[in-house]
Amino acid sequence: MLPKATDRFGEFGGRYVPETLIPALDELEFAFDAAMSDPDFVRTYADLLRDYVGRPSPLSDAPRLSERVGAKVYLKREDLNHTGAHKINNALGQALLAMRMGKRRIIAETGAGQHGVAAATACARFGLECVVYMGETDMERQELNVFRMRLMGATVVPVSSGTRTLKDATTEAIRDWVTNVETTHYIIGSVVGPAPYPRMVRDLQSVIGREAREQMLARTGGLPTAVVACVGGGSNAMGIFHAFVDDAAVRLVGVEAAGEGLNTEHHSASLSRGRPGVLHGALSYLLQDKNGQVHPAHSISAGLDYPGVGPEHSFLHDSKRAEYAAVTDSAALEAFGVLSRLEGVIPALETSHAVAWLLDSVGTWSPSDKVLLCVSGRGDKDVAQVRAMQGNAR
Ligand SMILES: *Cc1c(COP(=O)(O)O)cnc(C)c1O
Protein backbone atom coordinates (compact mmCIF):
# COMPACT_ATOMS: atom_id res chain seq x y z
CA MET A 1 0.00 0.00 0.00
CA LEU A 2 1.35 3.44 -0.87
CA PRO A 3 1.90 5.80 2.04
CA LYS A 4 -0.76 8.46 2.23
CA ALA A 5 0.04 12.14 2.28
CA THR A 6 -1.36 12.11 5.81
CA ASP A 7 1.42 9.79 6.97
CA ARG A 8 3.72 12.77 7.27
CA PHE A 9 3.66 16.33 8.50
CA GLY A 10 6.23 17.86 6.15
CA GLU A 11 9.20 15.54 6.58
CA PHE A 12 8.12 14.40 10.05
CA GLY A 13 6.16 11.35 11.13
CA GLY A 14 6.11 8.22 8.99
CA ARG A 15 6.34 4.61 10.08
CA TYR A 16 9.69 3.42 11.35
CA VAL A 17 8.53 0.07 12.72
CA PRO A 18 9.25 -3.67 12.36
CA GLU A 19 7.72 -5.05 9.17
CA THR A 20 5.32 -7.25 11.18
CA LEU A 21 3.46 -4.13 12.35
CA ILE A 22 2.81 -2.61 8.93
CA PRO A 23 -0.35 -4.66 8.22
CA ALA A 24 -1.69 -3.74 11.68
CA LEU A 25 -1.04 -0.03 11.05
CA ASP A 26 -2.71 -0.30 7.63
CA GLU A 27 -5.69 -2.04 9.23
CA LEU A 28 -5.88 0.61 11.94
CA GLU A 29 -5.69 3.50 9.49
CA PHE A 30 -8.38 1.96 7.30
CA ALA A 31 -10.62 1.21 10.29
CA PHE A 32 -10.20 4.70 11.75
CA ASP A 33 -11.02 6.47 8.49
CA ALA A 34 -14.04 4.22 7.94
CA ALA A 35 -15.24 4.77 11.52
CA MET A 36 -14.95 8.54 11.31
CA SER A 37 -17.09 8.59 8.18
CA ASP A 38 -19.68 6.23 9.72
CA PRO A 39 -22.50 8.30 11.29
CA ASP A 40 -23.26 5.50 13.79
CA PHE A 41 -19.70 5.48 15.10
CA VAL A 42 -19.50 9.26 15.23
CA ARG A 43 -22.79 9.43 17.14
CA THR A 44 -21.82 6.69 19.61
CA TYR A 45 -18.54 8.49 20.32
CA ALA A 46 -20.22 11.89 20.68
CA ASP A 47 -22.83 10.42 23.07
CA LEU A 48 -20.07 8.94 25.23
CA LEU A 49 -18.18 12.24 25.32
CA ARG A 50 -21.36 13.96 26.49
CA ASP A 51 -22.87 11.40 28.86
CA TYR A 52 -19.76 9.71 30.26
CA VAL A 53 -16.97 12.30 30.03
CA GLY A 54 -19.25 15.28 30.70
CA ARG A 55 -18.49 17.30 27.56
CA PRO A 56 -18.53 20.00 26.47
CA SER A 57 -15.97 21.00 29.06
CA PRO A 58 -16.59 24.56 30.32
CA LEU A 59 -14.71 27.65 29.25
CA SER A 60 -14.02 29.60 32.44
CA ASP A 61 -13.01 33.22 32.49
CA ALA A 62 -10.20 33.91 34.92
CA PRO A 63 -10.62 37.45 36.26
CA ARG A 64 -7.82 37.50 38.83
CA LEU A 65 -5.30 35.75 36.58
CA SER A 66 -6.30 38.14 33.77
CA GLU A 67 -5.56 41.11 36.00
CA ARG A 68 -2.15 39.69 36.84
CA VAL A 69 -1.29 38.88 33.21
CA GLY A 70 -2.67 42.03 31.57
CA ALA A 71 -4.86 40.22 29.03
CA LYS A 72 -8.23 38.47 29.20
CA VAL A 73 -7.50 34.85 30.06
CA TYR A 74 -9.93 32.00 29.38
CA LEU A 75 -9.43 28.50 30.75
CA LYS A 76 -10.53 25.48 28.72
CA ARG A 77 -11.40 23.11 31.53
CA GLU A 78 -10.24 19.64 30.51
CA ASP A 79 -9.56 19.13 34.23
CA LEU A 80 -13.32 18.77 34.67
CA ASN A 81 -13.57 15.74 32.40
CA HIS A 82 -14.29 12.36 33.97
CA THR A 83 -10.88 11.06 35.20
CA GLY A 84 -9.57 14.61 35.43
CA ALA A 85 -7.70 15.23 32.19
CA HIS A 86 -7.96 15.38 28.42
CA LYS A 87 -6.64 11.83 27.93
CA ILE A 88 -10.07 10.20 28.27
CA ASN A 89 -11.18 11.76 24.93
CA ASN A 90 -8.59 9.69 23.09
CA ALA A 91 -8.84 6.51 25.18
CA LEU A 92 -12.61 6.20 24.68
CA GLY A 93 -12.36 6.81 20.95
CA GLN A 94 -9.63 4.21 20.48
CA ALA A 95 -11.42 1.66 22.70
CA LEU A 96 -14.54 2.04 20.55
CA LEU A 97 -12.38 1.60 17.47
CA ALA A 98 -10.72 -1.53 18.90
CA MET A 99 -14.14 -3.13 19.42
CA ARG A 100 -15.11 -2.21 15.89
CA MET A 101 -11.97 -4.05 14.73
CA GLY A 102 -12.92 -7.08 16.83
CA LYS A 103 -10.02 -6.65 19.27
CA ARG A 104 -10.84 -7.08 22.95
CA ARG A 105 -7.35 -6.93 24.45
CA ILE A 106 -6.00 -3.41 25.02
CA ILE A 107 -2.46 -2.43 25.88
CA ALA A 108 -1.24 1.03 26.78
CA GLU A 109 1.86 2.82 28.07
CA THR A 110 1.67 5.46 30.74
CA GLY A 111 3.90 8.12 32.29
CA ALA A 112 2.02 10.18 34.85
CA GLY A 113 -0.51 7.38 35.00
CA GLN A 114 -3.18 9.61 33.52
CA HIS A 115 -3.27 7.80 30.19
CA GLY A 116 -3.18 4.43 31.95
CA VAL A 117 -6.13 5.51 34.07
CA ALA A 118 -7.98 6.74 30.99
CA ALA A 119 -7.33 3.46 29.16
CA ALA A 120 -8.33 1.40 32.23
CA THR A 121 -11.48 3.50 32.53
CA ALA A 122 -12.47 2.96 28.90
CA CYS A 123 -11.75 -0.78 29.19
CA ALA A 124 -13.84 -1.09 32.36
CA ARG A 125 -16.69 0.72 30.64
CA PHE A 126 -16.62 -1.73 27.71
CA GLY A 127 -15.46 -4.91 29.47
CA LEU A 128 -12.13 -5.09 27.61
CA GLU A 129 -8.93 -6.68 28.92
CA CYS A 130 -6.41 -3.96 29.78
CA VAL A 131 -2.63 -4.23 30.25
CA VAL A 132 -0.74 -1.03 31.11
CA TYR A 133 3.06 -0.71 30.90
CA MET A 134 4.54 1.78 33.37
CA GLY A 135 8.12 2.62 34.32
CA GLU A 136 9.02 1.73 37.91
CA THR A 137 10.13 5.30 38.63
CA ASP A 138 6.74 6.59 37.49
CA MET A 139 4.96 3.89 39.51
CA GLU A 140 6.63 5.31 42.62
CA ARG A 141 5.88 8.92 41.68
CA GLN A 142 2.25 8.18 40.88
CA GLU A 143 1.34 5.26 43.10
CA LEU A 144 -2.27 6.38 43.51
CA ASN A 145 -2.80 6.12 39.76
CA VAL A 146 -1.38 2.57 39.87
CA PHE A 147 -4.00 1.77 42.50
CA ARG A 148 -6.73 3.40 40.40
CA MET A 149 -5.84 1.34 37.32
CA ARG A 150 -5.82 -1.91 39.33
CA LEU A 151 -9.08 -0.92 41.01
CA MET A 152 -10.68 -0.71 37.56
CA GLY A 153 -9.43 -4.17 36.65
CA ALA A 154 -6.31 -3.33 34.63
CA THR A 155 -3.02 -5.21 34.91
CA VAL A 156 -0.14 -2.80 35.50
CA VAL A 157 3.22 -4.17 34.33
CA PRO A 158 6.29 -2.53 35.92
CA VAL A 159 9.04 -1.64 33.43
CA SER A 160 12.55 -1.74 34.89
CA SER A 161 14.64 -1.03 31.77
CA GLY A 162 16.40 2.24 30.91
CA THR A 163 15.34 5.25 32.94
CA ARG A 164 12.22 3.32 34.07
CA THR A 165 9.96 6.07 32.76
CA LEU A 166 7.57 6.71 29.87
CA LYS A 167 10.06 6.07 27.05
CA ASP A 168 10.82 2.59 28.37
CA ALA A 169 7.15 1.82 29.04
CA THR A 170 6.39 2.74 25.41
CA THR A 171 9.16 0.49 24.14
CA GLU A 172 7.71 -2.44 26.16
CA ALA A 173 4.19 -1.75 24.90
CA ILE A 174 5.42 -1.79 21.29
CA ARG A 175 7.18 -5.11 22.01
CA ASP A 176 3.91 -6.58 23.33
CA TRP A 177 2.03 -5.31 20.30
CA VAL A 178 4.46 -6.90 17.85
CA THR A 179 3.86 -10.25 19.58
CA ASN A 180 0.07 -10.05 20.04
CA VAL A 181 -1.03 -7.85 17.18
CA GLU A 182 -3.79 -10.26 16.02
CA THR A 183 -5.82 -9.92 19.22
CA THR A 184 -4.58 -6.64 20.62
CA HIS A 185 -5.06 -2.95 20.03
CA TYR A 186 -2.39 -0.59 21.33
CA ILE A 187 -3.89 2.68 22.63
CA ILE A 188 -1.07 5.23 22.38
CA GLY A 189 -1.68 8.12 24.75
CA SER A 190 -0.37 11.05 22.76
CA VAL A 191 0.15 12.35 19.22
CA VAL A 192 3.29 10.23 18.87
CA GLY A 193 4.14 6.84 17.37
CA PRO A 194 3.95 5.60 13.78
CA ALA A 195 1.23 6.79 11.36
CA PRO A 196 -1.73 6.83 11.72
CA TYR A 197 -1.41 7.44 15.49
CA PRO A 198 -0.38 11.13 15.47
CA ARG A 199 -3.26 12.07 13.18
CA MET A 200 -5.75 9.73 14.87
CA VAL A 201 -4.99 10.95 18.39
CA ARG A 202 -5.09 14.55 17.19
CA ASP A 203 -8.48 14.03 15.58
CA LEU A 204 -9.85 12.36 18.72
CA GLN A 205 -8.53 15.26 20.85
CA SER A 206 -9.59 17.97 18.40
CA VAL A 207 -12.93 18.20 20.21
CA ILE A 208 -11.08 20.42 22.71
CA GLY A 209 -10.33 23.11 20.14
CA ARG A 210 -13.64 22.79 18.29
CA GLU A 211 -15.55 23.43 21.50
CA ALA A 212 -13.19 26.18 22.64
CA ARG A 213 -13.40 27.98 19.30
CA GLU A 214 -17.21 28.01 19.46
CA GLN A 215 -17.16 29.03 23.12
CA MET A 216 -14.73 31.90 22.44
CA LEU A 217 -16.84 33.16 19.53
CA ALA A 218 -20.04 32.95 21.57
CA ARG A 219 -18.50 34.51 24.69
CA THR A 220 -16.28 37.20 23.21
CA GLY A 221 -17.49 37.59 19.63
CA GLY A 222 -14.06 36.77 18.24
CA LEU A 223 -11.13 34.40 18.16
CA PRO A 224 -8.41 34.37 20.83
CA THR A 225 -5.20 36.33 20.31
CA ALA A 226 -3.22 33.32 21.48
CA VAL A 227 -3.80 29.69 22.41
CA VAL A 228 -1.44 28.24 25.01
CA ALA A 229 -0.93 24.61 26.01
CA CYS A 230 1.75 22.46 27.61
CA VAL A 231 3.57 19.96 25.39
CA GLY A 232 4.72 16.52 26.47
CA GLY A 233 3.96 14.26 23.53
CA GLY A 234 1.68 17.08 22.49
CA SER A 235 -1.89 15.75 22.45
CA ASN A 236 -3.67 18.38 24.51
CA ALA A 237 -1.81 21.05 22.54
CA MET A 238 -2.67 19.53 19.14
CA GLY A 239 -6.21 18.96 20.39
CA ILE A 240 -6.70 22.64 21.13
CA PHE A 241 -4.48 23.98 18.29
CA HIS A 242 -6.09 22.02 15.47
CA ALA A 243 -9.25 24.14 15.21
CA PHE A 244 -7.12 27.32 15.00
CA VAL A 245 -4.29 26.25 12.66
CA ASP A 246 -5.97 27.88 9.67
CA ASP A 247 -6.63 31.13 11.57
CA ALA A 248 -3.29 32.74 10.75
CA ALA A 249 -3.87 35.62 13.19
CA VAL A 250 -4.15 33.29 16.19
CA ARG A 251 -0.80 32.71 17.94
CA LEU A 252 -0.24 29.08 18.91
CA VAL A 253 2.11 28.62 21.85
CA GLY A 254 3.37 25.23 23.06
CA VAL A 255 5.20 25.07 26.37
CA GLU A 256 7.75 22.35 27.00
CA ALA A 257 9.40 21.33 30.26
CA ALA A 258 12.79 22.99 30.79
CA GLY A 259 13.32 20.89 33.93
CA GLU A 260 16.36 22.15 35.81
CA GLY A 261 17.15 24.53 32.92
CA LEU A 262 17.71 24.34 29.16
CA ASN A 263 21.45 24.59 29.67
CA THR A 264 21.54 21.55 31.93
CA GLU A 265 21.24 17.89 30.94
CA HIS A 266 17.96 17.62 32.82
CA HIS A 267 14.99 18.79 30.79
CA SER A 268 12.36 17.50 28.35
CA ALA A 269 12.51 20.29 25.77
CA SER A 270 12.67 18.23 22.56
CA LEU A 271 11.73 21.11 20.26
CA SER A 272 13.84 23.74 21.99
CA ARG A 273 16.96 21.60 22.43
CA GLY A 274 16.59 18.40 20.39
CA ARG A 275 17.12 17.57 16.74
CA PRO A 276 15.24 15.32 14.33
CA GLY A 277 15.60 11.61 14.95
CA VAL A 278 13.51 8.45 15.14
CA LEU A 279 11.83 7.27 18.33
CA HIS A 280 8.87 4.94 18.76
CA GLY A 281 8.16 4.68 15.06
CA ALA A 282 8.23 8.30 13.93
CA LEU A 283 10.69 10.96 12.80
CA SER A 284 10.44 14.00 15.02
CA TYR A 285 12.48 16.30 17.24
CA LEU A 286 14.20 14.23 19.86
CA LEU A 287 16.65 14.65 22.72
CA GLN A 288 19.78 12.77 21.71
CA ASP A 289 23.46 12.58 22.52
CA LYS A 290 26.35 13.08 20.08
CA ASN A 291 25.93 9.51 18.79
CA GLY A 292 22.20 9.83 18.17
CA GLN A 293 21.30 7.79 21.26
CA VAL A 294 18.16 8.97 23.05
CA HIS A 295 19.06 11.31 25.88
CA PRO A 296 16.94 10.69 29.01
CA ALA A 297 14.38 13.40 29.67
CA HIS A 298 13.70 15.07 32.99
CA SER A 299 10.71 16.99 34.28
CA ILE A 300 9.11 17.55 37.64
CA SER A 301 5.95 16.41 35.90
CA ALA A 302 5.75 12.75 34.88
CA GLY A 303 3.43 13.59 31.97
CA LEU A 304 6.02 15.83 30.28
CA ASP A 305 8.98 13.56 31.03
CA TYR A 306 9.45 12.25 27.48
CA PRO A 307 12.46 12.81 25.16
CA GLY A 308 10.34 13.00 21.98
CA VAL A 309 7.40 15.03 20.74
CA GLY A 310 4.60 14.48 18.23
CA PRO A 311 5.71 14.91 14.58
CA GLU A 312 3.03 17.50 13.81
CA HIS A 313 4.55 19.78 16.45
CA SER A 314 7.94 19.40 14.73
CA PHE A 315 6.24 20.49 11.53
CA LEU A 316 4.47 23.45 13.16
CA HIS A 317 7.78 24.38 14.78
CA ASP A 318 9.84 24.31 11.58
CA SER A 319 7.13 26.03 9.53
CA LYS A 320 6.88 28.62 12.34
CA ARG A 321 3.09 28.31 12.49
CA ALA A 322 3.43 27.63 16.22
CA GLU A 323 5.97 28.92 18.73
CA TYR A 324 7.49 26.76 21.41
CA ALA A 325 8.88 27.89 24.73
CA ALA A 326 10.12 26.02 27.77
CA VAL A 327 9.71 26.70 31.49
CA THR A 328 11.60 25.22 34.42
CA ASP A 329 10.44 22.91 37.19
CA SER A 330 10.59 25.75 39.69
CA ALA A 331 8.57 28.13 37.50
CA ALA A 332 5.95 25.42 37.01
CA LEU A 333 5.83 24.77 40.75
CA GLU A 334 5.31 28.48 41.38
CA ALA A 335 2.53 28.60 38.75
CA PHE A 336 0.85 25.57 40.36
CA GLY A 337 0.36 27.72 43.47
CA VAL A 338 -0.54 30.90 41.60
CA LEU A 339 -3.46 29.41 39.63
CA SER A 340 -4.66 27.69 42.81
CA ARG A 341 -4.64 30.96 44.77
CA LEU A 342 -5.90 33.29 42.03
CA GLU A 343 -8.66 31.16 40.51
CA GLY A 344 -9.37 28.26 42.87
CA VAL A 345 -8.25 25.87 40.15
CA ILE A 346 -5.45 23.46 41.14
CA PRO A 347 -3.81 22.56 37.81
CA ALA A 348 -1.84 19.44 36.98
CA LEU A 349 1.92 20.02 37.12
CA GLU A 350 1.90 19.53 33.33
CA THR A 351 -0.66 22.32 32.89
CA SER A 352 1.33 24.46 35.34
CA HIS A 353 4.00 24.82 32.64
CA ALA A 354 1.53 26.61 30.37
CA VAL A 355 0.42 28.77 33.30
CA ALA A 356 4.06 29.62 34.05
CA TRP A 357 4.62 30.78 30.47
CA LEU A 358 1.58 33.01 30.80
CA LEU A 359 2.80 34.49 34.09
CA ASP A 360 6.12 35.19 32.41
CA SER A 361 4.39 37.00 29.53
CA VAL A 362 3.27 39.94 31.66
CA GLY A 363 3.92 43.21 29.84
CA THR A 364 3.67 41.73 26.33
CA TRP A 365 -0.12 42.05 25.94
CA SER A 366 -2.57 44.82 25.30
CA PRO A 367 -5.69 44.76 27.52
CA SER A 368 -7.97 43.72 24.65
CA ASP A 369 -5.89 40.58 23.97
CA LYS A 370 -7.57 37.27 24.72
CA VAL A 371 -5.56 34.24 25.76
CA LEU A 372 -7.05 30.76 25.66
CA LEU A 373 -5.23 28.40 27.99
CA CYS A 374 -5.75 24.64 27.98
CA VAL A 375 -6.08 23.31 31.51
CA SER A 376 -5.12 19.81 30.43
CA GLY A 377 -5.78 18.23 33.81
CA ARG A 378 -6.41 18.74 37.49
CA GLY A 379 -3.65 18.78 40.08
CA ASP A 380 -5.14 16.44 42.65
CA LYS A 381 -2.75 13.71 41.50
CA ASP A 382 0.18 16.04 42.23
CA VAL A 383 -0.67 17.63 45.58
CA ALA A 384 1.13 14.96 47.65
CA GLN A 385 4.30 15.36 45.54
CA VAL A 386 4.19 19.15 45.76
CA ARG A 387 3.53 19.09 49.49
CA ALA A 388 6.51 16.77 50.03
CA MET A 389 8.78 19.07 47.96
CA GLN A 390 7.67 22.15 49.84
CA GLY A 391 8.22 20.30 53.11
CA ASN A 392 11.78 19.54 52.04
CA ALA A 393 12.43 23.14 51.10
CA ARG A 394 11.58 24.37 54.59
C1 LIG B 1 -0.31 13.37 29.90
C2 LIG B 1 -0.62 14.75 30.26
C3 LIG B 1 -0.05 15.84 29.57
C4 LIG B 1 0.99 15.66 28.51
O5 LIG B 1 0.56 14.96 27.38
P6 LIG B 1 0.26 15.68 26.01
O7 LIG B 1 0.12 14.55 25.07
O8 LIG B 1 1.42 16.56 25.70
O9 LIG B 1 -0.98 16.44 26.17
C10 LIG B 1 -0.45 17.11 29.90
N11 LIG B 1 -1.34 17.34 30.90
C12 LIG B 1 -1.89 16.33 31.59
C13 LIG B 1 -2.85 16.64 32.67
C14 LIG B 1 -1.55 15.00 31.31
O15 LIG B 1 -2.10 14.02 32.00
**Mean pLDDT, residues 149-177:** 94
Give the orientation angle of helix 22-36 with respect to helix 39-48, to 10 degrees: 90
For residues 154 and 127, is the Cβ–Cβ distance under 8 A?
A: no
pTM of the model: 0.96
Q: Is the pLDDT of residue 2 over 50?
A: no
Side-chain half-sphere CA neighbours of 244 within 13 A: 31
pLDDT at 165: 85
Task: Determine the distance separating the centroid of ligand 1 and the alpha carbon of 262, expressed in angstroms.
Answer: 20
DSSP conformation class of 1: -
- 111 confidence band (pLDDT: 50, 70, 90): confident
Ligand 1 atom closest to Cα of residue 235:
7
Q: For residue 283, give every residue at least 6 positions away whose Cβ sits within 8 Å of its Cβ, in sequence order, or none.
A: 11, 12, 13, 14, 16, 276, 277, 311, 314
pLDDT at 7: 87
CA-nearest residue, atom 14 of ligand 1 = 303
Ligand 1 atom closest to Cα of residue 238:
9
Q: Is the pLDDT of residue 4 over 60?
A: no
CA-nearest residue, atom 7 of ligand 1 = 235
For residues 259 and 298, is the Cβ–Cβ distance under 8 A?
A: yes
Q: Nearest 5°: phi and psi at 244?
A: -115, -5
For strands 8-9 and 12-13, give the pairing.
antiparallel
Which one has a higher pLDDT value, 86 or 140? 86
Nearest to 89 by CA among 102, 76, 101, 73: 76
pLDDT at 1: 46
**Mean pLDDT, residues 351-378:** 98
Rounded Cα distance, 238 and 200, in Å: 11
Task: Determine the distance separating the centroid of ligand 1 and the alpha carbon of 304, expressed in angstroms.
Answer: 7
Rounded Cα distance, 328 and 267, in Å: 8
pLDDT at 203: 98
Q: Is the pLDDT of residue 262 over 50?
A: yes
Verify cis geometry, omega within 30 degrees of 0, for the bond prior to 56: yes
Task: Determine the distance separating the centroid of ligand 1 and the alpha carbon of 192, expressed in angstroms.
Answer: 12
CA-nearest residue, atom 10 of ligand 1 = 350
For the segment 17-74, what is each residue's pLDDT rounded down to a tens digit?
999 999 999 999 999 999 999 999 999 999 999 999 999 999 999 999 999 999 999 9
Q: Is the pLDDT of residue 394 over 60?
A: no
pLDDT at 302: 83
Rounded Cα distance, 59 and 80, in Å: 10
| Three-class secondary structure assignment of 185-234 | EEECCCCCCCCCHHHHHHHHHCHHHHHHHHHHHHHHCCCCCEEEEECCCC
Task: Determine the distance separating the centroid of ligand 1 and the alpha carbon of 206, expressed in angstroms.
Answer: 14
Catalytic residues: 87, 109, 376
Task: Determine the distance separating the centroid of ligand 1 and the alpha carbon of 15, expressed in angstroms.
Answer: 23
For residues 387 and 350, is the Cβ–Cβ distance under 8 A?
A: no
Task: Determine the distance separating the centroid of ligand 1 and the alpha carbon of 201, expressed in angstroms.
Answer: 13
Rounded Cα distance, 86 and 36, in Å: 20
**Mean pLDDT, residues 303-322:** 96
CA-nearest residue, atom 15 of ligand 1 = 114
| Beta bridge partners of residue 229, listed in sequence order | 254
Q: Is the pLDDT of residue 82 over 90?
A: yes
- 393 confidence band (pLDDT: 50, 70, 90): low
Q: Which of 94, 300, 304 to mutate to test the pocket of ligand 1 (most atoms within 8 A of CB)?
A: 304
Give me the chain's average pLDDT, please: 95
Q: Is the pLDDT of residue 80 over 90?
A: yes
pLDDT at 362: 97
Q: Residues with Cβ within 6 A of ligand 1?
A: 85, 87, 112, 114-115, 190, 230-237, 303-304, 348, 350-351, 376-377
pLDDT at 5: 52
The Cβ of residue 49 has, within 10 Å, a number of other Cβ atoms equal to 22
Q: Which of 77, 114, 357, 381 to mutate to test the pocket of ligand 1 (most atoms within 8 A of CB)?
A: 114
Give the orientation angle of helix 87-100 with respect to helix 197-205, to 10 degrees: 120
Nearest to 356 by CA among 373, 374, 381, 331: 331
Q: How far is CA 271 from the centre of its chain?
A: 15
In degrees, rounded to 5, the angle at the alpha carbon of residue 386 between the alpha carbons of residues 340 and 119 is 85
The Cβ of residue 107 has, within 10 Å, a number of other Cβ atoms equal to 24
What is residue 14's three-state secondary structure? coil
Q: Which of 82, 86, 117, 385 to mutate to test the pocket of ligand 1 (most atoms within 8 A of CB)?
A: 86
**Segment among 138-147, 236-245, 281-290 with least mean pLDDT:** 138-147
**Mean pLDDT, residues 279-292:** 95
Q: Which of 110, 205, 376, 378 to mutate to test the pocket of ligand 1 (most atoms within 8 A of CB)?
A: 376
For the segment 266-278, what is each residue's pLDDT rounded down to a tens digit?
999 999 999 999 9
Amino acid at 3: P
Burial of 333 (0-12, 13-18, 19+ CB in 10 A): buried
Burial of 105 (0-12, 13-18, 19+ CB in 10 A): middle
CA-nearest residue, atom 1 of ligand 1 = 303
pLDDT at 285: 98
